[in-house]
């Protein structure tokens, strides 16, 4: 599978309507992150203040719809020319499958989810845009704090990405990310990252890999560096301390909350 963003550029999706339940969502976030101290550095803001409604990147807005228990039921992506939706299905509290829908038709599916306890250890991604659908298996391992430690993608038992190694600091931030080509290092401020608090975001919007490096860390990155590449992030906050924009290299995010 090449270029996550290249796949979604072809997708025009129908709208999916779901109801957000903030009370349930806040409880779910609390349960999801119960093993992590969300207030290590920041005393005036907690996860209940960071219920993410939508975020924008690259001219595209991603609106998150929540269901009972605060789970993510769908994510709708829209721009001036694109509309597509990720629809999430559950068995109990666990994700069973995810469909990417355009014009009422399924374009890709994440399925065969495997778990260890309450964390996802693998799933298969099927892209259905070709006459012969193929699938990619994504595999994850975790450290003792249930943080993703390695990730890998394979097709027909052939590794196409990874294994990638993630190393963390004491505040649950990825400070070093190593793949087969390079090692990237990150630094952080002391404000909570709203993308980190969206349950299983990495397993839902699987085509959009650019979100991975922004959603695995508890706090907001302020820089990254690797061989020949240095990036500075400008994080802008509201008076209450919520992240409202993150800009860098002529690009960036904006965030809105419930």
pLDDT digits (tens, 9 = 90+) for 195-226: 999 999 999 998 898 999 999 999 999 999 99
Average pLDDT score over the chain = 85
pLDDT number for residue 118? 93
Q: What is the pLDDT of residue 227?
A: 87
Alpha carbons 141 and 159: distance in angstroms, whole number? 16
Local structure of 203: helix, strand or coil = helix
More confident residue, 159 or 73: 73
Among 25-29, 75-79, 151-155, which stretch is predicted with the lowest mean pLDDT? 25-29
Are the beta carbons of 257 and 52 closer than 8 angstroms? Answer: yes
Do 1 and 125 meet the contact criterion of CB atoms below 8 Å apart?
Answer: yes
Domains of the chain: 4-257 (2.40.160)
Rounded to an integer, the average pLDDT of 93-104 is 95
pTM for the full model? 0.82
Quick count: other Cβ atoms within 10 Å of Cβ 180?
9
Q: Specify the long-range contacts of residues 242-248, CB closer than 8 Å, at least 24 apart.
A: 242/45, 242/49, 242/50, 242/194, 243/191, 243/192, 243/193, 243/194, 246/214, 246/220
pLDDT score of 77 more than 60: yes
Q: What is the pLDDT of residue 37?
A: 45
Task: State the SS3 of 133-150.
Answer: CEEEEEEEEECCCCCEEE
């Amino acid at each position: 599978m090449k270029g996550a963003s290249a796949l979604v550029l072809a997708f025009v999706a129908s709208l999916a309507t779901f109801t957000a339940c903030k009370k349930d969502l806040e409880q779910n976030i609390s349960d999801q992150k119960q093993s992590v101290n969300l207030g290590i550095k920041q005393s005036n803001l907690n996860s209940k203040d960071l219920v993410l409604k939508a975020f924008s990147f690259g001219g595209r807005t991603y609106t998150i719809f929540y269901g009972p228990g605060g789970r993510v039921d769908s994510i709708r992506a829209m721009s001036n020319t694109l509309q597509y939706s990720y629809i999430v299905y559950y068995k109990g509290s666990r994700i069973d499958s995810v469909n990417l829908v355009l014009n009422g038709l399924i374009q890709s599916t994440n399925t065969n989810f495997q778990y260890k306890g309450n964390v996802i250890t693998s799933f298969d991604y099927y892209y259905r845009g070709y006459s012969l659908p193929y699938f990619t298996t994504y595999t994850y391992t975790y450290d003792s704090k249930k943080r993703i430690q390695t990730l890998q993608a394979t097709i027909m038992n052939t590794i196409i990405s990874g294994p990638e190694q993630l190393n963390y600091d004491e505040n649950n931030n990825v400070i070093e990310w190593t793949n087969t080509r390079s090692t990237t290092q990150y630094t952080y401020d002391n404000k909570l990252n709203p993308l980190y608090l969206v349950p299983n975001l990495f397993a839902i919007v699987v085509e959009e890999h650019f979100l991975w490096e922004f959603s695995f860390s508890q706090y907001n990155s302020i820089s990254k560096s690797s061989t020949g590449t240095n990036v500075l992030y400008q994080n802008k906050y509201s008076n209450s301390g919520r992240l409202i924009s993150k800009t860098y290299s002529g690009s960036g995010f904006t965030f809105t909350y419930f």
